[in-house]
Amino acid sequence: MRPILMKGHERPLTFLKYNRDGDLLFSCAKDHTPTVWFADNGERLGTYRGHNGAVWCCDVSRDSSRLITGSADQTAMLWDVQTGTQLHTFTFDSPARSVDFSVGDKLAVITTDPFMGLTSAIHVKRISKDPSEHVCLFCLCADILVVEIVPEISESVLVLKGPQGRINRAVWGPLNKTIISAGEDAVIRIWDAETGKILKESDKEIGHKKGITSLQKSVDGSHFITGSLDKSAKLWDIRTLTLIKNYTTERPVNAVTMSPLLNHVVLGGGQDASAVTTTDHRAGKFEAKFYDKILTEEIGGVKGHFGPINALAFNPDGKSFASGGEDGYVRLHHFDQDYFNIKI
């Protein structure tokens, strides 16, 4: 396959996300502008200007009308996907690290970093129902909007505190009843989304040994995978938090994703960016490693990046995937026919 290289970001990529139809690809980077691309040919559709800091994470609503981004400028912003206009800004006291829309897109979970004495927190925000209403209000009468919308939208429904260190990822569990969080303390927690109590915590013995960098749910939401700096990725049941599989690799894992089509797991990573220039390029392991999900055996690797892979995303049709690296490139890979016939 000949990957498509997309050089729209000036700085390292942080996150990639496909919309549900798989025709748009959203990319976040440490430069301040999230970008949307056509996922088939890699053409740039537009950028979302407004953030004033690194953008860490994004999520797109099921109908691809709205985008939420979390940024180090201590805000999370809600955008109109089509026009790139800001619909709303959620302001926090510390950088927003991860965002995730709930099923139904009525709520969003946003995590904030420990900052200036504040501990890390998970916020649940209510998102107003009608996106068109938002656009209208903003375009015509911004003042009224502030009065009307702010009480409804800006207050956190729930704020969860407790975990030590940064929470790198928080996602909704099945039926929005739980929130799964993972972060630097290497513990995966399942919270009750209504009461805010911790329901389950991953066992220190079987769990990750170092900070968890990424977390991704399966398509059906029955299980999820976490990648960690302890050079492994683990597959967990989303309800019982039992460890299902363990994938070991040779480098810290920065990004994980699962194929929606085949039983494949992709791990991306590499050594710390600070050590890149001091080591041989072959030692870097800047490749996306494919593993068999069930046999946990390595299938192969896709090379190309000049730095660690920070973000991975599979197209919902399972026929292509995108990787974003520290080198500022997004590489969009459409699989050859061979890929679908791979046997171990």
Partner 1 sequence: MAVEAANQPKIRWGELEDDAEDLDFLLPPKQVIGPDRNGLKKIVEYKFNEEGNKVKITTTTRICKLANARLSKGAVERRSWPKFGDAVHEDVGARLTMVSTEEIILERPRAPGSKQDEGKSGGDSLNQIAKAGAVLMVCRTCGKKGDHWTSKCPFKDLAQPSETFVDRPPSRGEAPAAGAGSQKSAYVPPSMRGGAAERGSGGGTEMRRRNEENSVRVTNLSEDTREADLLELFRPFGHVSRVYVAIDQKTGMSRGFGFVNFVNREDAERAINKLNGYGYDNLILRVEWAAPRAT
Q: Which residues bind partner 1 (CB under 8 A)?
A: 1-8, 21-24, 33, 35, 37-38, 41-49, 63-64, 82-84, 250, 280, 282-283, 285, 287, 290, 298-304, 317, 331, 333, 336, 338-339, 342-344
Q: Record the tokens describing residue 111, joined without a space.
A: 């995590």
Of 24 and 124, nearer to partner 1 (C-beta) is 24
Tell me how far, at minimum, the Cβ of 93 lies from partner 1, in Å: 28
Residue 9 burial (C-beta neighbours within 10 Å; 0-12, 13-18, 19+): buried
- Residue listed under structure tokens 């800001």: 86
Q: Kindly write down the DSSP assignment for every residue of 47-104, as one continuous string.
A: E-----S-EEEEEE-TTS-EEEEEETTSEEEEEETTT--EEEEEE-SS-EEEEEEPTT
Cβ contact 106:78 at 8 Å: no
Q: Which is nearer to partner 1, 49 or 204 (CB)?
A: 49
Phi, psi of 64 (to 5 degrees): 55, 30
> Given the complex with partner 1, which of 144 and 295 has the nearer CB atom?
295
Nearest alpha-carbon partner for 25 in 324, 342, 328: 324
What is the distance between the alpha carbons of residues 58 and 52, in angstroms, rounded to a whole number?
15
Whether 77 contacts 50, CB under 8 Å: yes
User: Which residues partner with 108 through β-bridges?
Assistant: 101, 125
Q: Which residue type does 28 have?
A: C
Q: How far is the CB of 335 from partner 1 (least distance, A)?
A: 8
CA atoms of 118 and 40, how far apart (whole Å): 43
CB nearer to partner 1: give 5 or 159.
5
Q: Which is nearer to partner 1, 15 or 79 (CB)?
A: 79
Least separation in angstroms between residue 208's CB and partner 1 is 18
Q: How far is the CB of 82 from partner 1 (least distance, A)?
A: 6
Give the residue with the Cβ less far from partner 1, 104 or 300. 300
Task: For the CB of residue 162, give the shortest distance to partner 1 in the complex, in Å.
Answer: 35
User: Phi and psi dihedrals of 340, rounded to 5?
Assistant: -80, -10
Tell me the C-alpha distance between 182 and 264, whole Å.
22
Of 236 and 321, nearer to partner 1 (C-beta) is: 321
Whether the CA torsion 32, 34, 35, 39 is positive or negative: it is positive
From the CB of 37, what's the least distance to partner 1, in Å? 8
Shortest distance in whole angstroms from residue 123 CB to partner 1: 27
Taking the complex as a whole, the smallest distance from the CB of residue 24 to partner 1 amounts, in Å, to 6
**Given the complex with partner 1, which of 199 and 283 has the nearer CB atom?**
283
Nearer to partner 1, 188 or 332 (CB): 332
Q: How far is the CB of 141 from partner 1 (least distance, A)?
A: 22
Tallying the residues shown for the chain, one arrives at 344
CB-facing half-sphere around the CA of 308: CA atoms within 13 A: 22
As given in the structure block, the two tokens for residue 289 are 């490693």
Report whether 288 contacts 267 (CB < 8 A).
yes
